[in-house]
């Protein structure tokens, strides 16, 4: 089973449809090496189609979420090795942005500690980010003479406003979890001793919702960001039609029936009661 596969640099745990992937280099504050990136890419690709994964939670072991790129293994060790550098860059961008940002199921960043530099890419790629009140953030690249490279400078524009992203990129100052929430980099902040409980409560709620509706909603919100109003309208109309075709649970009709006919459902207060697809013996998907 994909969710039970073992890796050298990450841990993968699954319970009740929630898969937690933990960057597991605590002695290096979970800095990303080429080997860790390879583990993560393989893991993400496997979990995309894993029926036991309905929600993905990404976190880090020890006191850090991730300190960014491993300067020794990712940069120094690849000096003079253009082929190795190209492979490493392709792998890291694939999992941290292209696969994670487009992951077909809800993703939650559970930010338990330090989050620096390159780690901003996968932070922004996650749909929701919940941080411990003790977490610490920073773009420290300027302090050692480089730019926030890779995709970091780009993803800042997705989650942060111009003034804040420019200030912290230029100054290299650290900032708190409360500041990260104020700037929109994380969704909300919770007490450190409540972090896991709060994340798992949210993950459980998401895992119980219609999976096709979740997938379509993710794709819709992300895709229309760069569209005009007319383009967005046409896209969303087509997306709604696609959802109706893909949704084997027929969620819309089920919810309407429960609200109007059965009077067992009150929209806005809780999800409709999911039912097994007609062509399946289980409601799990």
Give the pLDDT score at 11: 97
Which SS3 state, helix, strand or coil, does residue 232 take?
helix
Q: How far apart are CA 253 and CA 52, in angstroms?
A: 26
Question: What does the radius of gyration of the chain's CA atoms come to, in whole angstroms?
Answer: 20
Judge whether 160 lies within some domain: yes
* Residue appearing with tokens 């996650």: 126
Judge whether 276 lies within some domain: no
Which of 194, 30, 216, 207 minimizes the C-alpha distance to 123? 30
Low-confidence ranges of the chain (pLDDT < 50): 1-3, 280-285
Which of 13, 74, 53 minimizes the C-alpha distance to 215? 53
Judge whether 44 lies within some domain: yes
Q: How far apart are CA 49 and CA 32, in angstroms?
A: 25
**What does the pLDDT look like over 208-236, one tens digit per residue?**
999 999 999 999 999 999 999 999 999 99
Judge whether 234 lies within some domain: no
Q: How far apart are CA 144 and CA 30, in angstroms?
A: 20
Judge whether 246 lies within some domain: no
Residues ≥6 apart with Cβ < 8 Å to 63: 26, 29, 112, 113, 114
Judge whether 42 lies within some domain: yes
As for how many domains the chain has, the answer is 1
Tokens coding 44: 């993400």
The reported pTM is 0.91
Q: What is the CATH number of the domain that holds 82?
A: 3.90.226.10
**What does the pLDDT look like over 58-110, one tens digit per residue?**
999 999 999 998 888 777 767 777 887 788 888 999 999 999 999 999 999 99
Judge whether 260 lies within some domain: no
In sequence order, the β-bridge partners of residue 14 are: 19
Cβ atoms of 123 and 181 closer than 8 Å: no
Give the domain extent around 195: 2-207
């Amino acid at each position: 089973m994909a969710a039970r596969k073992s890796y050298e640099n990450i841990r993968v745990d699954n319970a009740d449809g929630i898969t937690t992937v933990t960057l597991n280099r605590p002695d290096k504050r979970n800095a990303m090496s080429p080997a860790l990136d390879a583990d993560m890419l393989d893991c993400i690709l496997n979990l995309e189609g894993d029926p036991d994964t309905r929600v993905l939670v990404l976190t880090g072991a020890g006191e850090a979420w991730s300190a960014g790129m491993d300067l020794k293994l990712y940069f120094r060790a690849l000096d003079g090795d253009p082929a190795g550098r190209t492979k490493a860059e392709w792998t890291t961008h694939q999992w941290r942005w292209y696969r994670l940002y487009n992951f077909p199921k809800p993703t939650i960043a559970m930010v338990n500690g330090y989050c620096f530099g390159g780690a901003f890419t996968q932070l922004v790629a996650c749909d929701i980010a919940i941080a411990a009140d003790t977490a610490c953030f920073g773009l420290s690249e300027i302090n050692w003479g480089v730019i926030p490279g890779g995709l970091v400078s780009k993803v800042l524009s997705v989650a942060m406003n111009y003034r804040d992203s420019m200030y912290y990129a230029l100054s290299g100052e650290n900032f708190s979890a409360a500041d990260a929430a104020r700037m929109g980099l994380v969704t909300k902040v919770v007490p450190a001793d409540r972090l896991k409980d709060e994340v798992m409560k949210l993950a459980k709620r998401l895992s119980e919702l219609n999976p096709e509706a979740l997938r379509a909603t993710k794709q819709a919100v992300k895709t229309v960001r760069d569209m005009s109003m007319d383009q967005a309208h046409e896209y969303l109309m087509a997306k709604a039609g696609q959802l109706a075709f893909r949704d084997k649970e027929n969620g819309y009709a089920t919810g309407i029936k429960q609200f109007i006919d059965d009077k067992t459902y009150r929209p806005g207060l809780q999800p409709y009661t999911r039912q097994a697809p007609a062509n399946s013996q289980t409601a799990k998907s």
